[in-house]
Structure 1
Amino acid sequence: MKSGADRVKKVATVLAILYVLFLSVFALDAFGGNLSLGKQIIGFIIHLVPSFLLLIL
């Protein structure tokens, strides 16, 4: 039988992953504009830095 602490940890993990996915959606705005595909991809990666940092934590 799972303890309450295990359930709290799983819920917190799922919420953290959902939050990172939510933040990652905002990185898609890097694909607007008249920039080349390479610059758009670089911008996309730069916009994902906060999500990467949260995943590391």
Structure 2
Amino acid sequence: MNHTPRLTELRRLQLNAEHMARLSPFKADREKFGRIAERYRQEAEVLKGEGGPPASSRKSR
């Protein structure tokens, strides 16, 4: 299954959240957008990992 469009979308959303975190004058907003960016990054990693070997076997190499 090709996840490329979804991965591209997640990376774009991650970058947008990172930019919002960097540009916000409010600490609470920076932290919130940082958490959102991290969540998008993790979701992209999970989706990316579904196409290959399980994560545990990749780490042991």
**Structure 1 length-normalised TM:** 0.47
Structure label with greater radius of gyration: 1
